[in-house]
Structure 1
Amino acid sequence: MKQSRTMSLVEAITNVIVGYGIAVVTQILIFPIFGLHTTLTQNLKMGAVFTVVSIARSFALRRMFEAFRIH
């Protein structure tokens, strides 16, 4: 059975939210090990940037693979 468009959207949004949370928590835990000390606000902003980059990468790869599939 195919996934509905609504559930695909819910899955995509959930993936982005979870990814953002993981990015921020990872930064908070890992940055100090490398001597980087950032505020929560900075971590939230960096997480947002990483999330936008991840969405753009995912979109570009999906379109590239779709183009390969068509030809």
Structure 2
Amino acid sequence: MTQSRTDSLRETLAHTLARFVVSALATAYVLPLVGVDLPLTQNLTARAAMTAIHAAPTYAIRRAFNARVGRSAL
């Protein structure tokens, strides 16, 4: 059984949100350790852009795998 497109989108968004939070926290902690002072707004803006860029292919890959699984189940 495959996921619906809506469920794939929900799963992608949940994973993406989790990665966004972890990435933003890691960036806020690690960059100052290496001498980079990045204001919170710039950190979150950069993370949001990278998150959006990452979400689309994640969704497409999920749909491709679901389509493949659906065909092999027949």
What is the TM-score normalised by the length of structure 2?
A: 0.65
Q: CA RMSD in A?
A: 2.5
Mapped contact 2:12–2:55 kept (Cα < 8 A): no
- Output the CA distance in 2 between the equivalents of 1:8 and 1:50: 20
Deviation at 1:22, TM superposition (A): 1.3
Match of 1:38 in 2: 38
Match of 2:7 in 1: 7
One-letter amino acid of the counterpart of residue 12, structure 2:
A
- Output the CA distance in 1 between the equivalents of 2:28 and 2:45: 12
Match of 1:51 in 2: 51
| Count of matched residue pairs | 63
> Structure 1 stretches (4+) deviating beyond 4 angstroms?
none
What is the TM-score normalised by the length of structure 1?
A: 0.67
Structure with the greater relative contact order (CA < 8 A, sep ≥ 6): 1 or 2?
2
| Unaligned stretches of 5+ residues in structure 2 | 69-74
Give the fraction of aligned pairs with identical amino acids, expressed as a percent.
30
